[in-house]
Amino acid sequence: MAISYRHLTQRVFAPVRQHYGERDTMLYALSLGLGCDPLRADALPFVYEGAPGGLRALPTQAVVLGFPGFWAKEPDTGIDWVKLLHGEQRMRIHRPLPASADIVGHNRVERLTDKGEGKGAIMVTQRRVETAAGELLATLQQVTFLRGDGGYSQQDGGQPSDEPLPALAPTPHDRAPDFIDTQLIRPEAALLYRLLGDTNPLHADPAVARAAGFERPILHGLASYGVAACAVIRQCAGNDPARLAAFDIRFAAPVFPGETLETQIWRVSGQPNCFQLRARVIERDKLVLSHGFAELA
């Protein structure tokens, strides 16, 4: 069954209503490795309700809010979901996330691009995360590579194919980074992160991971995304999460729990509030996140 442009782009998603509390906010931060060192005061605002000024939510927590579930696996989509790959994540923060709130997630397929037979397709889904009162908190774009669904536009008499999103820029290669941040990925990080809603057994069951070609369970890509955003907040924003206005990244390779993530950050010339970044696993000297972009308010 081939995918249908009209069916996917007109698919109706019911609003996702969700309550999250301070325990969820702390769990999110802990799953990213904050609090690994009990003497690091810069982690306390995100993991301890008694910190000066009270508990604060990390802006990337928006990625686990209002999520509609793994809907691409449903038979009516026509998607070859086994070959689906989360390629990029982009986010715009419109106002700081509360430490506790009732929210509503509005999801839709924003665009679908055919790369050609045997080359796959690219699907962009958009999620607006709002408060129950209708205040927009964040807009998320997830770029998914449908590796088994290329050539759909040539079927059924021809179907539309949208222009892809503007490409993310690669990080500089002619100069050293302006900031370097390291963060240990907890050995149990994937088991903690899955409690936030993504229960794919690839991140928990060694047998499932081996069947997928990995030596052991891998970390969720959105967890490494959150770790890199924390690096920007620490190094460039004075540890103030309210300053992060935009954060985009491309997923280059998986991260394994227990490894150390090094985030390299460059200032953008002429744009004092903009930064480019990438991240590598120190133990394997492996690039895992690339084409990163962050903007501060």
Contact between residue 222 and residue 143 where contact means Cβ atoms under 8 Å apart = no
Give the dihedral sign, CA 53/29/21/106.
Answer: positive
Q: Is 192 exposed, middle or buried (0-12, 13-18, 19+ CB in 10 A)?
A: middle
Residues 79-100 as b or e (16 or more Cβ within 10 Å = b): bbbeebeebbbbbbbeebbbbe
Three-state DSSP class for residue 41: helix
Amino acid at residue number 128: R
**Would you please indicate which residues are annotated as catalytic (active-site) residues?**
198, 203, 218, 221
- Are 228 and 249 in contact, with CB atoms under 8 Å apart? yes
User: Count of CB atoms within 10 A of residue 52's CB?
Assistant: 8
β-partners of residue 169 are none
Antiparallel, parallel or unpaired: β 136-146 and 84-93: antiparallel
Q: Which residues in 110-145 are b (16+ Cβ under 10 Å) and which e?
A: bbbbbbeeeebbbbbbebbbbeeeeeebbbbbbbbb
Instruction: Classify each residue of 8-47 as buried b or exposed e, where b means 16 or more C-beta atoms within 10 Å of its C-beta.
Output: beebebeebebebeeebbbbbbbbbbbbeeeeeeebbbbb
179: closest CA among 282, 278, 39, 289? 278
